[in-house]
Amino acid sequence: MTIANYITFTRIFISPVFLLIYVAHDYFGISPIFLPYILIFLMGVSELSDAFDGYFARKYNQVTDLGKILDPMADSIYRISIFLTFTQPPVKLPILFVFIFIYRDSVISTLRTICALRGFALAARFSGKLKAVIQAMAAFIVLFLMIPESLGYLPEDDLQFYAALSVGIAALYTVFSGVDYLYANREYIKKILMNKNHEKSI
């Protein structure tokens, strides 16, 4: 365990806390007016942890195999948890978008794991990094829209429409980034398929 890995664990820890506060804020004595600010704070801490874990890992030469696995896993858990939380009122995000995020991360994570087991690493793509930024922006937009909705200035139907629109754009780019990743690493995928076919023939 390193400083960077402890910071990464922060995102994993915040994920269920975010969900619990959103769903059961009345139980914790949090009014709907203050709820968006608390959620924005939690998400801000998570995004900062995503930036600082890599910074500390490189600065103090603490890049580890655990960190390489833990960081993308924490990102996936954290962001999917947030969008899954938004499927509940008042946002009521279509769950289809969440499935898109899950499928994309599952396919890419499986591919990277298989390639790692076969001795070659898949390089990160700029589209993947941009995907994370776009997803974060979409989540922040939803949270900021919850502020006027909680004050009665924005109808709940409008909140749901603009939330679906912003997250829908993020979902479309998520699909694109997945296709881009698969196309860029098509040679590695061919090697995997060839090896499997060779093993079957034997």
pTM listed for this prediction: 0.90
CATH of the domain at 68: 1.20.120
Q: Is 141 within 8 Å of 166 (Cβ atoms)? A: yes
d(CA 152, CA 24): 20
Domains: count for the chain: 1
Residue 60 structure tokens: 């103090």
CA proximity to 167, closest of 73, 91, 78: 91
Averaged pLDDT, 46-56 = 85
Q: Each residue of 12-45: pLDDT tens digit?
A: 999 999 999 999 999 999 999 999 999 999 999 9
Q: Which domain holds residue 55?
A: 3-201
Residue 119 structure tokens: 């001795």
d(CA 187, CA 91): 42
**How far out from the chain centre does Cα 16 lie?**
14
Query: Mutual orientation of helices 186-201 and 156-184 as an angle, nearest 10°?
Result: 60
SS3 124: coil
Question: What is the model's pLDDT at position 192?
Answer: 72
d(CA 183, CA 113): 17
Per-residue pLDDT band for 196 (boundaries 50, 70, 90) equals low
d(CA 92, CA 71): 29
What are the residues whose beta carbons fall under 8 Å from the beta carbon of 59, sequence distance 6 or more?
Answer: none
Q: Each residue of 117-154: pLDDT tens digit?
A: 777 667 678 898 899 999 999 999 999 999 999 999 99
